[in-house]
């Protein structure tokens, strides 16, 4: 019998129902997918998924049938689940604009979870993210944000090499590119930026295209604010970063290049190439990352799939008291600040300073 009880708020794709564009349409709602919160819990030794909630009863039953959740563990509305269940961990898998309420409600509820595993991006406004962090602090609840790259062995090892071993030295410049939809997609890029540098934005200048290519390719909601765009960011450690998320889905590759005083690093997570060059006597000399335990590059098919079992096992370690949170709400807010800053900069025609004051940090960018 499992030691810990888990519940999921939002019975959608990332929760375990399946995602159009990632999974075959005929499998959605029928198969169990590893790259999901439910799939992560199934891979642990001591966490059992016992409850799920959604406002859509049809979706709720499809999810419950796919993941063998008994009828009495299926709830219409998260308030009902939180009132009826005693839970150790709650996953919040609603659209990003609907993370705020369920996280606050779960942290304050009689379900009394020790961990809330919230999907990325943490929220759709900086104010909401800050309140989520504050309430979880007040209730002694770990807020773990599912920036899934942090739960892969390769990126964790890379973070150690950059932050602890200093293979880049002082980073001068970063160039990053990915597909459209700033909030939905560039949160991955920007969380990688703040994670590897352990830095926060200081100044942001942005451009918004107004285009949302996922509306057609993923049959997404057409009313969201999220769009393609990018800009530049000056970090509080002096690093200058450029972000380009204007590329259509079929054309895109997730690429990142870091240049520092001791070397440079190139990461391509779509074409399967990670490379590092050490700076020696003003010349860059390539060093195989395998020398430091990174075999091959990061891939969506392998590393992203394993990120969910790894994330759930990290939840288990947090519950056991044997780990420190690897993806905190405060860290997640750092990437959100940059994205909101791009929108504010575009629509005001000026640069945006971080940290933001009200009313700027109250601005909401809706996505799905």
Dist CA 54 CA 81 (whole Å): 10
pLDDT attached to residue 17: 77
Question: pLDDT-based confidence at 346, cuts 50/70/90?
Answer: very high
Q: What is the pLDDT of residue 28?
A: 64
Query: Are 289 and 177 in a shared domain?
Result: yes
pLDDT of 218-250, one tens digit each? 666 667 899 999 999 999 999 999 999 999 888
CB 103 within 8 A of CB 132: yes
Are residues 168 and 269 located together in one domain of the fold?
Answer: yes
Residue 69 lies in a domain: yes
Judge whether 63 lies within some domain.
Answer: yes
Identify the band that residue 302 occupies on the pLDDT scale cut at 50, 70 and 90: confident
* Whether 171 and 267 share a structural domain: yes
Pair (126, 42) in one structural domain: yes
- Domain shared by 109 and 129, yes or no: yes
Helix (H, G, I), strand (E, B) or coil at 210: coil
Question: How confident is the model over 309-315, as a mean pLDDT?
Answer: 97
pLDDT score of 333: 98
Shared-domain flag, residues 222 and 259: yes
Q: Say whether pLDDT at 21 is over 60.
A: no
Please report where in the chains the tokens 């790894």 appear, as a residue.
310
Residue 245 included in any domain? yes
Residues 57 and 82 in one domain: yes
Q: Report how far residue 123's alpha carbon sits from residue 329's, in angstroms, rounded to the nearest whole number.
A: 10
- Within this chain, do residues 218 and 283 fall inside the same structural domain, yes or no? yes
- pLDDT > 90: what percent of the chain? 81
Question: Do the domain assignments include residue 332?
Answer: no
- Whether residue 29 has pLDDT greater than 70: no
Q: Which two tokens stand for residue 48?
A: 């059992």
How many folded domains does the chain comprise?
A: 2
Residue 137 has pLDDT above 90, yes or no: yes
- Whether 313 and 43 have beta carbons less than 8 Å apart is answered as yes
Lowest mean pLDDT among 27-41, 275-289, 311-325: 27-41
Q: Give a yes or no: residue 261 inside a domain.
A: yes
Residue 325 lies in a domain: no
pLDDT of residue 224: 86
Residue 125 has a pLDDT of 97
CATH (domain of 101): 3.40.50.720
**pLDDT for the residue 26:** 61
Identify the residue whose tokens are 């395998």. 290
Residues forming a β-bridge with 91: 8, 117
Q: What is the mean predicted confidence (pLDDT) over 303-315? A: 94
Cα distance between the two ends of the chain: 36
Confidence at residue 78, expressed as pLDDT on a 0 to 100 scale: 97
CA dist., res. 195 & res. 178, Å (int): 17
Judging by beta carbons within 10 Å of its beta carbon (0-12, 13-18, 19+), is residue 140 exposed, middle or buried?
Answer: exposed
So what's the pLDDT on residue 178? 95
Tell me the per-residue pLDDT of 163-174, one tens digit each, with 9 for 90 and over: 999 999 999 999
Q: How confident is the model at residue 213 (pLDDT cuts 50, 70, 90)?
A: confident
How far is CA 341 from each of CA 44, 122, 196, 216, 242, rounded to the nearest angstrom?
A: 38, 15, 20, 26, 13
Q: In this model, does residue 101 exceed pLDDT 80?
A: yes
In a domain, 348, yes or no: no
Residue 46 scores a pLDDT above 70: yes
pLDDT, greater one: 20 or 62: 62
What φ, ψ does residue 365 adopt, rounded to 5°? -110, 110
What is the domain range of residue 36?
4-147+306-320
Q: Share the mean pLDDT of the chain.
A: 93
| Region 93-122 average pLDDT | 96
**Phi and psi of 261, rounded to 5°?**
-70, -20
**Region 351-365: what's the mean pLDDT?**
96
pLDDT digits (tens, 9 = 90+) for 53-93: 999 999 999 999 999 999 999 999 999 999 999 999 999 99
Q: Where are the beta strands (DSSP E) in 139-218?
A: 142-146, 171-179, 201-208
CA dihedral 35, 339, 124, 301 (to 10 degrees): -10
Q: Looking only at Cα atoms, what is the longest distance across the chain?
A: 68
- Both 173 and 130 in one domain: the answer is no
pLDDT score of 290: 95
In a domain? residue 284: yes
All residues at 6 or more sequence positions from 123 whose CB lies less than 8 Å from its CB, including other chains = 96, 97, 99, 100, 129, 132, 336
pLDDT value at residue 222: 66
Residues 33 and 162 in one domain: no
Q: What is the CATH number of the domain that holds 245?
A: 3.30.360.10
Q: What would the mean pLDDT of 344-363 be, rounded to a whole number?
A: 96
User: Contact at 8 Å (CB) between 258 and 168?
Assistant: yes
353 bridge partner residues: 203
Torsion 104-128-231-265 (CA) sign: negative
Which of 228, 183, 232, 186 is closest to 210 using CA atoms?
228
State the pLDDT at residue 221: 61
CA–CA separation, 233 vs 179, rounded Å? Answer: 18
pLDDT of residue 19: 64
Q: Which of 355, 51, 11 is nearest to 203 (CA)?
A: 355
Beta strand pairing call for 142-146 and 115-119: parallel
DSSP letters of 78-146? HHHHHHH---SEEEE-S-GGGSHHHHHHHHHSTT--SEEEEESSS-SSHHHHHHHHHHHHHTT-EEEEE
């Amino acid at each position: 019998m499992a030691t810990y009880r888990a519940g999921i708020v939002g019975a959608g794709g990332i929760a375990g129902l399946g995602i159009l564009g990632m999974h075959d349409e005929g499998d959605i709602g029928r198969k169990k997918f590893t790259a999901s919160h439910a799939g992560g819990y199934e891979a642990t030794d001591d966490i059992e998924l016992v409850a799920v909630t959604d406002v859509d009863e049809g979706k709720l039953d499809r999810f419950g049938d796919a993941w063998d959740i008994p009828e009495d563990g299926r709830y219409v509305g998260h308030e009902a689940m939180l009132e009826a269940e005693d839970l150790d961990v709650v996953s919040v898998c609603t659209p990003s604009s609907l993370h705020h309420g369920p996280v606050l409600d779960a942290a304050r509820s009689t379900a009394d979870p020790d961990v809330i595993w919230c999907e990325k991006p943490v929220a759709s406004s900086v104010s909401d993210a800050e309140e989520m962090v504050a309430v979880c602090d007040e209730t002694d609840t770990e807020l773990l944000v599912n920036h899934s790259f942090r739960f892969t062995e390769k990126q964790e090892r890379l973070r150690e090499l950059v932050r602890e071993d200093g293979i880049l030295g002082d980073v001068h410049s970063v160039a990053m590119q990915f597909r459209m939809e700033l909030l939905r997609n560039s949160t991955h890029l920007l969380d990688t930026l703040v994670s590897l540098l352990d830095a926060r934005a200081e100044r942001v200048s942005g451009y918004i295209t107004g285009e949302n290519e996922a509306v057609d390719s993923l049959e997404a909601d057409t009313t969201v604010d999220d769009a393609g765009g990018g800009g530049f960011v000056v970090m509080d450690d002096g690093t200058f970063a450029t972000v380009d998320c204007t590329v259509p889905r079929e054309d895109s590759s997730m690429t990142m290049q870091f240049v520092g005083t001791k070397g440079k690093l190139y990461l391509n997570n779509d074409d399967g190439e990670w490379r590092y060059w050490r700076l020696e006597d003003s010349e860059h000399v390539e060093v195989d990352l395998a020398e430091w335990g990174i075999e091959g590059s990061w891939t969506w098919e392998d590393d992203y799939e394993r990120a969910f079992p790894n994330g759930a096992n990290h939840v288990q370690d947090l519950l056991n008291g044997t780990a420190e949170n690897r993806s905190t709400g405060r860290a997640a807010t750092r990437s959100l600040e940059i994205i909101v800053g791009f929108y504010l900069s575009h629509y005001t025609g000026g640069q945006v300073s971080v940290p933001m004051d009200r009313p700027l940090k109250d601005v909401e960018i809706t996505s799905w």
